Amino acid sequence: MACGARREPGLPGRFTSLAGMLKRAGAYLRGRLVKSPAWGELVQETLRLHPSVRGPRDRVLADPTAVLNGAMLNTVSGTITIGRHAFLGDDVALLTGTHDHTLTGLERQQAVPDGGRDIVVGEGAWIASRAVVLGPCTIGANAVVAAGAVVTGDVAAGAIVAGVPATPR
């Protein structure tokens, strides 16, 4: 042990050690840039920080440069396509599933379509934290969906939408 270094005994020392490991792991994840041998450019590896997929996983088509930050992806009723350099903030929900509001009771609960409610997130789009996107819809290239917004239809390329339901700003 270095001169002047202090080691805390017991449980506090273990927590200090664990905190240090978590800090180093976070720094490692933030710095994950790799050199692309094919193009010679820096590309960010896909950061899939524990996204949750409900439904068939093969219906998630995410570009390797997309950042998913713990998103909840529901693919029960369609495919979710996420474009190059798209960014999803914490706790974003992309939901393809739906229930028929004209039905009631058990019939409503069990009547879920197999497809046709696809969601497409365009290149460079940013969906901020806790936004909800309900399929079918397309979020255009470089569009911004504000935090907490509920998207119920298409968002034009380059548009900024916010609110419940989300509308252009």
- Dihedral of CA atoms 73, 57, 31, 89 in degrees, nearest 10, equals -10
Residues with catalytic annotation? 101
b (16+ CB within 10 A) / e for 36-61? eeeeeeeeeebbeeebebebeeebbe
Amino acid (1-letter code) at residue 137: C
Rounded distance, CA 160 to CA 134, Å? Answer: 17
Helix, strand, coil content of the chain in percent (nearest 5): 20, 25, 55
